[in-house]
Each structure stands twice: as C-alpha cells, then as structure tokens.
Structure 1
C-alpha cells in the first residue's frame, strides 16, 4: 500500500511500501486508501501566483465564513531552494500562555528528522505570506511524543501524530494574552458529536492563503473499522482539505465570539478521496503539554 509523503506543488511524491498503510471505511465493503501526510513546501512564486489569481476552493472544504480565527493559524518555515514549508496549528491553553498544538509530522519526518531552524506561527493568518515573520511568533521549542520515532516506519508511529510547540513572547506579551486560546480535550472523544476541522490547505485547488474548514460528526475508528495505523483516530468523510492543513485543529464547543473552542484532535492524514483522519490526544499527552506549557 502506498503512502505519499510531501505531496504538493513543486514537490515530487516519495512513496514507501507497507502492508498496513491504509484504512477502511465504516458501513461499506472494506477498501484501503493511500494515506497522505505533508509538511508542504511550496515555491514562493507559486503562492504569489495563486494569490493573484484568487483560485476558488472546492465546495467540500468551504472558506470559514466568519473569516480568520485569532486562535487558529499557519506554521511557516524556510524549506530551502526558494520554498516555504507550511502547516496549520491552534493556540491551546497553557500556564505559560505560549503553546500551539499541531501534527508531529509537521515537526519531524523520515526525510527531515530534526525540526526546521526557524519556524513562525501566524495566528489569524489571512493572505499574509509577505509579512509572516513580522506577524508571526517564532517557535522556541518543539515537543513530540516518544512514540513519534521517525527512524521507524510511518505506519508504526502514526498513532502518535501530535505535537506541541512553545513560542516566544512578543513585546512582553504571550501568544495567549494577545490572541486567546482554545481548550484542549484528551481522549476519549465523544462519538457522533459535531466537529469543525480547520486549516490552511495549500495544494490545489487551494492556495493556502485563507482559512477553510469541513464539518461533520466525530467518528472514532475502532478495531474492525480501520487498519492498525489509524485505530483511535477520528474520521470525517466528504472533506478535501489538502496538504498544508496538516496539524489544523478539530474543534468542538465554540465560544460565543467564534474565536475559540475545544480542540479534540489535529489533522493527521487524508485519503486523497475526500476522507480525512484527525489524531486525538491520548492521556500520555498531558505530560508533553505540561512540558511545553511550563
């Protein structure tokens, strides 16, 4: 079964083989789909062209109608060769007021086992590629679970595809003081609850410059419904969020102002055929969050 890593404009597909590299869908004959995960590097020139053309997204992942969300943002770093690496993330409550939740594969991968040298989190990002350093908060520390061991096959470590980032302060203020924060819920995640999946998809037909979302009911994948790499994950059908949305929050229970809610998972993988899987936070993630938020 093929797993495509780093699929996106200007990036060649890199495929690894695995007997367990897919997942099956509830309520239908078992099918196995390729899983695609991406820290998406895109040429800066392509991002600029997409912005100028104003490419319209597909209906399956709609623009977030209220506009930018102050506690949801975009991770951006220099990927070399005139390219930028892109992921999504969300501010979560922490004692130090400086923690962002995202996907572990946005931080470390087989191809890049160490985090990038300089990563910026831009809360409420909206068409701001030219000023991401000025608008962003620089990541000071990266926290991935022990289970995210990139020397092992991705299919073995996928259940640990979550991470926390600690960002520095700006002008004497923390990220949480300046932009607010989401609550974070640990497993178990309630089955059949309304959830919104947010992120900045940057592979076609999207340009990564505005916030998009899918919405539906939480579907917790259990034994017999999914192959091992995705057990415990949350599945959502009818969602074509593409690379660049990795690490984006799965949010429930929005506050009245629409700027924060409860994050129950982060975007992990997609089938490429309208099905995505979010990775919830297991109980052992509490210690990792405590370290990031100290």
Structure 2
C-alpha cells in the first residue's frame, strides 16, 4: 500500500509498514540540522535559528507540495476497499475542495508552511491556535520531520495569498512532534507543532488571532478542513476547504476520515469541529494527514488524543 499525505502527499512519498511501503520522490542529500534535536521521551523537539529572510514570493510559489499516499499492495485490502466504497459517506460532503470565500478568522489563522526537506523547498499548511506563549502553529508531523530528518528553514505564512504574505513570515524557533511520529512515523500520531518567533510588533497570536484547540473529542462529528493544496489541479495560491460528516478509518489507523479531494500541500491544514462560517472560527481537532489511492477523494487526519495534548502543552510553554 502507499500512503498519500492528504492526497497532497500522493506524488511525493509512499509509506512502508506491513502491507504499506514508502519511497521518497525527493532523493537528495539530507541538509544538516541547524541545532541538535532534543527528544525528551514525551515530545521530540528540534531547535533552530529563526530566519525567514530568504523566502521570497517566487521561492514560495515554486516550493514542492509535500504529499503522502497509501496504495493497495494486496488483493485482500483491495477487495475490502471495494466494499468500503459502498459504505463510507462519500455523498455527505457539502464541499470536497472549494476555494474559501467566506472570510472570517480562518483567513488569518490558517496559512502555508514552507521549509527545506533534503535540500529541496517544500510546502504544507498550518494554523495558529490559542496558547500561553501566543506562538504555536499546528501542522502535520511529516511537515516538521520526515524519513529521519528534521526540516530546516521552516516558516509559516498566515493568510498566504498567491505569493503575498499579508501578515508577515514567521520563522520557527522550535519544531516539535510526537515521540510516535519521531521514532516510527506512526500515522495515528502524525501531528507537528512549531513555536514561531516573536516580532517587535508582538506575537503571531496578537497579529492574526487564534483558533481554539481540543483533545479527546467526540468522533463522527461534522468538520471543516482547510489547507493550501498545491498539486494539480490546485496551485497553492488560495485557501481551500472541505466539510461534511467524518468517520473513523476502518483500515490501518484510528484516524478521522472525510470526503475531500484536496491535494499535496494541504497536509497540516486544520480540521475544525463547531465551525461557524459567519465568523470563520472553530475548534481544531485534527490536521490533514494522508489518503489511500484506492479510496479516491478521501482525506484522513489523526485523532488528537493524550499524546497530541502533551505535545501542545510543551509547545505552549516554550
């Protein structure tokens, strides 16, 4: 099977574990870490020098969308998939990947993530959440560390708009992930967070606002998913969304699932419960993570449980 990062992962990587297998489409020498990672057991931390000066509009537009896709490798799973296609709620989505035109807070708190991975510029998505330090951006685990290497030159651009950074570029001082993702790239724990720099004008929370975040929530809720898909047919220029009923992945993970056709680059974008289209606010309970090639137009995101909460507490206190 191959794993696709938020369907946007599909063209860049594949994952191996049991019936799954992962290969990287970016086979270049690993870049040197800027600082030594600190793995304390409950959270894996990478410290770096915050510097966003080199991320020009052209460099952002040309960044490769990070994507991860899981494809079938056995007849058994393929047969099961055909059964699942008749059971899963494909028809219950109000949007499966449309440009967000509703305005509201999400147009500021959500944004694009840019970084260097194995010597190549790449992109994901992220979102600012409320925190004690006012500096926490939530994304996917593979958007901070992948295939044994921490990403470098990591910046977040809230409200990104076709190369423009209306609220500035915010470089990470620390990126973090769960120990399960750091050690084994466990899809159930594909959660990453960044503590971004504080500027002379204040924190990122003071600049763009925040969204609520929650852990150990109910399953099966209606949710809104946001991100910046950059693989065809998208180009990463605009904020895109999906919304509809969710379900629990019945195959390899315990992740949330949703009918959504966003592609590479949307990885790390927020999933909101209780989302209010009028205000653009909700409660973040997951991120875009991966999809199966044999279940087209479906997105999966990790359940925010105790491990994600521990990660958030560490980032919030940094």
Q: Do the structures match in fold with TM over 0.5?
A: yes
Aligned residue among 91, 98, 102 for 1:66: 102
TM value normalised by structure 1: 0.75
Residue aligning to 2:156: 121
Q: TM-score, normalised by structure 2?
A: 0.69
In the TM superposition, 1:147-162 aligns within 5 A as 147-150=180-183, 152=184, 154=185, 157-162=186-191
Q: How many residues are paired up?
A: 251
What are the equivalent positions in structure 2 for 1:12-51 lying under 5 Å apart? 14-21=13-20, 47=61
Distance 2:238 2:61 in 1: 12
Deviation at 1:292, TM superposition (A): 0.7
- Residue 177 (structure 1) aligned with residue 206 (structure 2): yes
The equivalent of 1:141 in structure 2 is 174
2:2 corresponding residue in structure 1:
2
- Equivalents in 2 of 1:190, 1:37: separation in Å? 32
CA RMSD, aligned part only? 3.3
Q: Where does the alignment leave 5 or more consecutive residues of structure 1 unmatched? A: 22-33, 49-58
**Structure 1 CA distance for aligned equivalents of residues 226 and 202 of structure 2:** 26
Unaligned runs of 5+ in 2: 27-57, 63-94
Task: Confirm or deny: 8 A CA contact 2:8 2:229 kept in the other structure.
Answer: no
Aligned residue among 206, 215, 226 for 2:251:
226
1:51 maps to: none
More off after superposition, 194-203 vs 166-175: 166-175
Equivalent residue number for residue 31 of structure 1: none
Are the structure 2 counterparts of residues 219 and 96 from structure 1 closer, same or farther at C-alpha, using a change threshold of 3 Å? same
Check conservation: 2:256, 2:302, Cα contact below 8 A.
Answer: yes
| 137 and 45 in structure 1: CA distance in 2 versus 1, 3 angstrom threshold | closer
Distance 2:136 2:112 in 1: 14
Match of 2:224 in 1: 196
